[in-house]
Amino acid sequence: MADIQTIMQQMKIDLDGSSVHYFIVGQYMLDSRDEIFSSIHFHKDSAFDLVFESNRLSANVILNKQRPDDLFKIGLQYSKIWTVAKGNSAFFTNKDNIYTNPDALDYNINRA
């Protein structure tokens, strides 16, 4: 599996216009105040204003497809990403996983 930096670089290229979908499970900061463990779908039609930094990603995302005008600002440190899946649709299986970081899951379990 590729390292997270390489995956994020490819994600930036892919989301700039292709029909590739990403599904990322991790510990997100929501609106810069609430920390949540969640999965978020990234696609050119659901994630906007993406900023890829050396150790984190931030974006405005649609969390409810029934309310596409409600955008939420999220932040995600790469070290808190548990799984990344990549595919050609919004439906993913374990076969689509391109990155897994078990330590990120341990971080969340130990905080509970």
pTM: 0.86
Domain count, the chain: 1
Residue 106 lies in a domain: no
Per-residue pLDDT tens digits for 50-104: 999 999 999 999 988 788 888 999 999 999 999 999 999 888 998 999 999 988 8
Please say whether the beta carbons of 22 and 32 come within 8 A: no
Query: With 70 as the cut, is the pLDDT of residue 106 above it?
Result: no
Per-residue pLDDT tens digits for 1-24: 689 999 999 999 999 877 899 999
Query: Distance between CA 94 and CA 112 in Å, rounded?
Result: 25
pLDDT band for 42, please (50, 70, 90 cuts): very high
* Model pLDDT, residue 104: 83
* Model pLDDT, residue 100: 93
Residue 45 lies in a domain: yes
* Model pLDDT, residue 102: 87
CATH, residue 88: 2.30.30.220
Residue 109 lies in a domain: no
Per-residue pLDDT tens digits for 21-41: 999 999 998 877 778 888 899
Residue 46 lies in a domain: yes
Query: With 60 as the cut, is the pLDDT of residue 109 above it?
Result: no
Query: Distance between CA 51 and CA 110 in Å, rounded?
Result: 29
Residues 6+ apart with CB under 8 A from 68: 62
